[in-house]
Structure 1
């Protein structure tokens, strides 16, 4: 009995399966490279963090605290502010964050 023909057919079948597996793996690699490139573009497109933050209360007109931009405890309602806005808020008796001490960095002394 000569099974060399069926053996060759099995090897050809194995080759096709492995080629499909390799093509699928290459697609996965391309997809992952695309995801990583998109992630990197997203990081690069982020606006810079503000130097100062002003935390607002539930009433948006009510200012609660002034923070440095890198403060770890600004609260969810903090918005970016310029240096002049932060100083003006401190002048209006808005409290300075006790953790990041923006008043010290701003050189603000109570009048």
Structure 2
């Protein structure tokens, strides 16, 4: 799943985990005189911190994946009539050096910029949800 809803879900999960961790910290502050309960709450705190760290890793991976989803290949020569080509990352028709392109920039380039065109093989416009 590589779409905005995944990022939205991970952000929601992050907020819930942060709230749970804050609740555990409040509980810890309230049981200063109960060593047995403190041990249990410290264990819970460690587990919640690990869960939150894992969610942060997932978010970072998803953002990196989204940033590298599209690439741009320069035109054959400076005055080439079609301009640069926008590809999906991993397209097998790429023949020259490429640069990463964010989803937002790829959408703008394919949809509105006359100096760019979409690759006819990997069809980044379809992946972006644009009408071709």
TM-score range, shorter chain: 0.3 to 0.5
Superposition TM-score, scaled by structure 1 size: 0.47
Q: Which has the larger radius of gyration?
A: 1
Structure number with higher helix proportion: 2
What is the TM-score normalised by the length of structure 2? 0.40
